[in-house]
Amino acid sequence: SKILYANPRVDGYPLMSSPLPQTIIIAAYIYFVTNLGPKFMENRKPFDLRQIMLFYNFGVVALSIYMTYEFLMSGWATGYSFRCDLVDYSWSPMALRMVRVCWMYYFSKFIELLDTVFFILRKKNEQVTFLHVFHHTIMPWTWWFGVKFAPGGLGTFHGMVNCIVHVIMYMYYGLCTLGPAYHKYLWWKKYMTTIQLVQFIIVTVHIGQIYTMDNCPYQYPVFMFIIWLYGVLFLILFLHFWYVAYTKGQRLPKHMKNGIDKNKSE
C-alpha cells in the first residue's frame, strides 16, 4: 500500500510519470558536455554569457533560499527530530507541502545542468571534471525515485543542506560574474570547498545514525543506504579535489596567479 500511497500525490507533476524522460534529458546532457558541445565550440570564440549567467546565478540563489524555507516549514523546523523521521504519506497540507518542495528540489537539479552548458559555451572545458558531471547527473536521476516513493522524512535532510550550500555557492558565482570590481569580496573562495566538505560530513553523519538507531521504521531503507553512499563518495571525491587544488597549490583563485587579474576576460 505504501507504493500506491506514494504515487498519486505526484501525479500531474512534470517528469514524474516515468523515469524515461529524465533519463533521455540526462543522456543528452552527458553527450552535449562531453562530445557535441566541445566539438561545436572548437573553432568558435567563447560566448560572452555574463548577463545570462548573472540572472541565472542569482535566480538559483533565490530559488535555493525559497526551497530551504519550504523544507524547514514542511518538517525540518516544524517537528522533525533529525533522527528517525518518517515519510508522511497523508494528504495533509504539511505532507503535500513537503511533496511539492521535494519535486521543486528535484526539478532544480535540471536547471543546474546549465552550469556545465555555460562552461562549454565559454570554453572553460577544464572545469568539466568527472566529479562535476557525475554530481550533476546522479543527483537528479536518483531523486526521481525519492520524490516518487519517499518525499519527506530523513531522506530529505541532505536536500535541505544542499539548498543552504547552494545559496552560498551561487552567490559566489554571481559575484564572480559581476567582474573584477567585486573580486575583493571573494576572499572566502577557499572556504567554499570547506563548506561543501562540511555538507558531506553533516549528511553522512545524519544518515549514518541509521546504523545506531534501533529498528527505525523508515519506509525505504534503500534510500538511506544510497544517501550514505553518496555522502561518503562525494566526501572522498571532494577531499581529492581539495588535495589537488589547495595542498598541492594547483588551483589558486585565478585572479591571484602571478598577481595579474586574469578574471577580466571572464
Catalogue the active-site residues: 135
Side-chain half-sphere CA neighbours of 207 within 13 A: 24
Please state the separation of Cα 117 from the chain's center in Å: 16
> Is the torsion defined by CA of 106, 110, 114, 117 positive or negative?
positive
Determine the Cα–Cα distance for residues 55 and 58; give it in Å rounded to an integer: 6
| Spatial contact of 172 and 73, defined as CB atoms under 8 Å apart | no
CA 16-22-27 angle, 5° bins: 170
Question: How many CA within 13 A on the CB side of residue 54?
Answer: 10
Cell 571532494 sits on residue: 238
- Note whether 239 and 197 are within 8 A (CB): yes
Cβ(153)–Cβ(222) below 8 Å: no
Distant-in-sequence, close-in-space partners of 195: CB < 8 Å, separation ≥ 6: 165, 168, 169
CB count within 10 Å of CB 59 equals: 13
